[in-house]
Amino acid sequence: MTRVEVAIVGAGFAGIGVASALRRAGRDDFVLLERGASVGGTWRDNTYPGIACDVPSHLYGFATHPNPAWSGTYAKGAEIHAYLEHVVDVEDLRERLRLHTPMRSAEWDAVQEVWRIATPDGVVVADALVLACGRLTEPAIPRVPGLEQFPGPLFHSARWDHSADLAGARVGVVGTGASAVQIVPELARTAAHVTLFQRTPAWIVPRGGGAYSDADRARFAATPQALEALRAELYAEGEARFASRSGDSAAAAEAEAVARAHLERQVTDPMLRAALTPDYAFGCKRVLLSDDFYPAVASDRVSLVTSALAEVDGSTLVASDGTRHDVDALVLATGFASTRQPYAELVVGEDGTTLAEHWSGGMTAFASTVVAGFPNLFVLNGPNASLGHSSSVLMIEEQAGYVSRVLDGRAGRVLRVDPEAERAYTDEIAQAAASTRWMTGGCRNWYVDERSGRLALLWPGTVDAFRERLARADGSEFVPEPALEGSTQ
């Protein structure tokens, strides 16, 4: 058995971020549990061809760990993974890190007032539990008749099979989201042909950017102020983007015009262009960035099927429109289980209720971080903690600061969230989200929980607004502990 003050589950950006915040606050009694063979989370698991971030690299990192060595405007996946390994070393977290150590269960012990976390190496007992398990970790596999009998290479984009030789092969790709727009151009360069199944087209804007020169990187390294100024500029640009993503009419119209002009420039065939044009409001779904997706789809190396995959008949893919397409390999770029987090089934709270049961109508938490019925529990990257306009790392930093501040003020007491505080915060989110494109834009997106119809993943505001909201959390979100017998108050 291991006894610690804080157990952190997950060693991606969120887990590393909160561990770093605790260490900087002088807290060393914690353990970082990671199921994988290395840190990195999403950036360890996703290794598909062309993987890169769609947030500018100098904004997609911790403010306390600027990286002058990013290769370009948008960092490649392997670079981000290496960056997180570097942060772990600089923050001296290796001694607290346990790799190959998944959380099998976590249960609140009401008698001892501790969390008991079962792992393959034994039980970890902790005063507080931080779930930093990520929101895009478990691939969503579509239920398609015959899929399991497909005879060729078959894998999800987040579990890329590098042993499969796709050069010269006929490759089917299902999905046209953020991963697919990076994968398809890469496959089109080497595969004999790519058949792309599109259920719903995405709004796509130019990516732009480019490589940083040696001189650029040397200047960033020599003048930290230049790097700080660039981050501030990128931050301001991101905050300004909120208007177009959330539904400000003028901003959305301007951004949509950019997307339409981009499509028109890159796709000359009017029928193909129409097939690639969304019929829902700009911003309703995640807006994608790409300069090479449209040219790939418009080439003779890619065929666009404007229907969902309905059936797999041997090596033939049958679309819902009845068309049949023979392929040698199949890639599922079908996203993740986002609104129903798999780890929630493993966590049991004060009254024997699992976190999944508490979230049966959609994820909720006060300050997007603490949950009623689950004492001394913190969730990062969970309910309403994602962004549709800027870097998710910014939200992680704010949540990590909140966790550190709350633990500093705990003074040994059990932190029980007032259910009314959680309900009021949830209502506050719903009211702020009601008029946004995510709710009114006429699409299905992974931000909204299908069970309740509530915006469950995105924060419906700017990063500044999130920071201000967490700053207003003064401890009244927690139920006061009863006074001891004989004491005066």
Angle at 182 between CA 268 and CA 390, to 5 degrees: 105
> What is the residue-level pLDDT of the chain in tens, covering all 489 positions?
999 999 999 999 999 999 999 999 999 999 999 999 999 999 999 999 999 999 999 999 999 999 999 999 999 999 999 999 999 999 999 999 999 999 999 999 999 999 999 999 999 999 999 999 988 888 999 999 999 999 999 999 999 999 999 999 999 999 999 999 999 999 999 999 999 999 999 999 999 999 999 999 999 999 999 999 999 999 999 999 999 999 899 999 999 999 999 999 999 999 999 999 999 999 999 999 999 999 999 999 999 999 999 999 999 999 999 999 999 999 999 998 888 888 999 999 999 999 999 999 999 999 999 999 999 999 999 999 999 999 999 999 999 999 999 999 998 899 999 999 999 999 999 999 999 999 999 999 999 999 999 999 999 999 999 999 999 999 999 999 764 444 444
Asked whether residue 401 falls in the same domain as residue 268, the answer is: no
Asked whether residue 123 falls in the same domain as residue 190, the answer is: no
Asked whether residue 45 falls in the same domain as residue 153, the answer is: no
Residue 293 near residue 204 (C-beta atoms within 8 A):
yes
Assigned token pair, 77:
């996946």
C-alpha–C-alpha distance, residues 388 and 438, integer Å: 9
Q: Is residue 212 part of a domain?
A: no
Domain range for 342 is 2-138+337-471
Instruction: Among 332, 349, 378, give the residue marking a domain's end.
Output: 332
Q: Is residue 236 part of a domain?
A: no
Instruction: Among 332, 364, 391, give the residue marking a domain's end.
Output: 332
SS3 content of the chain, % helix, strand, coil (to 5): 35, 20, 45
C-alpha–C-alpha distance, residues 387 and 337, integer Å: 17
The domain total for the chain is 2
Asked whether residue 294 falls in the same domain as residue 253, the answer is: yes
Strands (E), 50-140: 97-98, 105-109, 114-119, 122-131
What is the DSSP annotation of 355-397?
Answer: HHHHTTTS---BTTTB-TTSTTEEESS-TT-B-SSS-HHHHHH
Asked whether residue 307 falls in the same domain as residue 169, the answer is: yes
Asked whether residue 163 falls in the same domain as residue 256, the answer is: yes
Asked whether residue 100 falls in the same domain as residue 156, the answer is: no
Q: Is residue 230 part of a domain?
A: no
Asked whether residue 257 falls in the same domain as residue 322, the answer is: yes
Contacts of 148 (CB under 8 A, 6+ apart): none
Which ranges of 163-205 would DSSP assign to H, the alpha helix? 180-190
Q: Is residue 282 part of a domain?
A: yes
Q: Is residue 129 part of a domain?
A: yes
Which residues face 115 on adjacent strands?
108, 126
Asked whether residue 62 falls in the same domain as residue 183, the answer is: no
The domain that holds 430 is classified in CATH as 3.50.50.60
Assigned token pair, 110:
């009401």
Asked whether residue 34 falls in the same domain as residue 57, the answer is: yes
Residue 401 near residue 21 (C-beta atoms within 8 A):
yes
C-alpha–C-alpha distance, residues 301 and 304, integer Å: 10
Instruction: Among 307, 332, 357, give the residue marking a domain's end.
Output: 332
Asked whether residue 175 falls in the same domain as residue 275, the answer is: yes
